[in-house]
Amino acid sequence: MPAQKNGGTLQDGSKQNKSRRQKSPFPRAVILTTDIGAEMDDQWTLAQLAVAPEFDLRAIVTTHAPSLQNPAAETAARFAREVLDHLPLKKHPPVFAGSSVPLAERSAPQPNRAVEFIIEQSKSFSSGRRLAVLMTGAATDVASALLIDPTLADRIEIVAMGFENWEAGGDSWNVKNDVRAWQIVLESRAVLTVGDARVTRRDLAVTRTEARKLLGTRGIAGRYLADLHGAWLDRDPPFVEKVTGSRDKWIIWDSVTLAYLLGLTKNKTYPRPILRDDLSFEHSSSAKKSATLNWVTAINAKKLWRHFTTNLDRINAPVNFNLFHSSDNDGHKNRSISADTKNS
């Protein structure tokens, strides 16, 4: 599919960015930060990440969101464990509840075990081999980690779902839920990629029928995930229609982060903007020229969903699949990566 052209005066500062994504070898170490339970997309993203042989999911850090019952991060942690309990994995990654509230001040981190874990895990990584940190909820814990240890920025690559679009910025959820934290992230030196609401709304909308067809017959995990999608559509149809234009589809927003790491997106590189308190971007010409960020402009949804279903099928029938596809029988780390999921 064609990359969406980003218009106007900013085009001069952009360039096509096929090569910038870190070409770290698989399996790639990843920490997922998520406000899981707020909608239903986080559950799909977590499940796909956990079953993918391309990733070594080191931990799940749960974040706050206004719709999660207090304490929000603890509530989200229960949703994360519920997803893991539906997956036939040999080993579950640890789940850490992060902060249940946004940062109170720009200069004051909110330490917790999740923040400590991010910093600790990062220590065996470097600027040439970065730990991937996916931000699919509020940025609070990542920002706290960056405030406590600014050198963390040299060892992580952040991939985030957030903002309405590149030109204006703006946001209705992840960024809005802790603007200060996002300001810290943007001001840091961490390699950063953003998948916004505009591109995910266009490329990652899934209808009820599509969800059932993709996942409904794929074991306990598949049925559970398809049912979550259906239940979300039924929960508040006018809201669903307001967001998507239809009562029959919802957007799997957060999986844009996964798509990026799998090489299933088109991206552009831009000078890093300044985030104002009202969530708008200031595209300042005086900003440091070296500071950039990657912006996702298109997502190959067909390949992304095929990656999901292929891996669900494999974990549901591990013996047959491994005999057929791989010469080794050691399930998780050494599984062969199918041709579909190699970078395109």
Give me the least distance between CB of 92 and Ca ion, in Å please: 20
**Which letter does DSSP use for residue 139 in this model?**
S
Contact status: 42 vs Ca ion (CB under 5 A): yes
CB of 31 to Ca ion, least distance (A): 15
DSSP β-ladder status, 265-271 and 281-282 = unpaired
Site map (CB under 5 A) of Ca ion, residues 239-278, x = contact: ---------------x------------------------
Q: CA–CA separation, 338 vs 326, rounded Å?
A: 10
Q: What whole-number distance in Å separates Cα of residue 325 and Cα of residue 337? A: 9
Residue 136 within binding range of Ca ion, rule CB under 5 A? yes
Residue 327 backbone dihedrals phi, psi, to 5 degrees: -85, -15
Report, in Å, the least distance between residue 175 CB and Ca ion. Answer: 12
225 versus 315: smaller Cβ distance to Ca ion: 225
> Which of 4, 28, 35, 50 is close enough to bind Ca ion by CB under 5 A?
35
Least separation, in Å, of the C-beta of 160 and Ca ion? 10
Q: Quick one: 174 or 292, whose CB is closer to Ca ion?
A: 174
List phi, psi (to 5°) of 111: -65, 145
Q: How far is the CB of 38 from Ca ion (least distance, A)?
A: 6
Instruction: Output the smallest distance, CB 254 to Ca ion, in A.
Output: 5
Decide whether 44 or 166 has the Cβ nearer to Ca ion: 44
* 84 touches 95 (CB < 8 A): yes
**How far apart (Å, rounded) are the C-alpha atoms in residues 106 and 111?**
14
- From residue 154 to residue 193, the character string flagging contacts with Ca ion as x (rule: CB under 5 A) and all else as - is ----------------------------------------
Q: Judged by CB, which is closer to Ca ion: 62, or 316?
A: 62
- Binding of residue 196 to Ca ion (CB under 5 A): no
Output Rg (C-alpha) for the chain, integer angstroms.
Answer: 19
Residue closer to Ca ion by CB (options 98, 137) is: 137
Nearer to Ca ion, 35 or 171 (CB): 35
Residue written as token pair 């001040």: 105
In 3-state terms, what secondary structure has residue 303?
Answer: helix
Record the tokens describing residue 120, joined without a space. Answer: 């600790």
| C-alpha 73, offset from chain centre | 17
CB of 197 to Ca ion, least distance (A): 12
Q: How far is the CB of 135 from Ca ion (least distance, A)?
A: 9
Counting Cα atoms < 13 Å in the Cβ hemisphere of 263 gives 17
Q: Across-strand partners of 134?
A: 32, 159
Q: Which stretch binds Ca ion (CB under 5 A): 28-36, 90-98, 119-127, 240-248?
A: 28-36
Say if strands 156-161 and 131-136 run parallel, antiparallel, or are unpaired.
parallel
Distances (CA, A) of 150 to 104, 190, 206, 273: 19, 9, 39, 19
The beta strand positions in 21-180, using DSSP E, are 28-34, 55-62, 95-97, 131-136, 156-161
Total interface residues for Ca ion by CB under 5 A? 5
Q: Which is nearer to Ca ion, 78 or 129 (CB)?
A: 78
Query: Which region among 31-39, 68-76, 189-197, 304-312 touches Ca ion (by CB under 5 A)?
Result: 31-39
Binding site for Ca ion (CB under 5 A): 35, 42, 136-137, 254
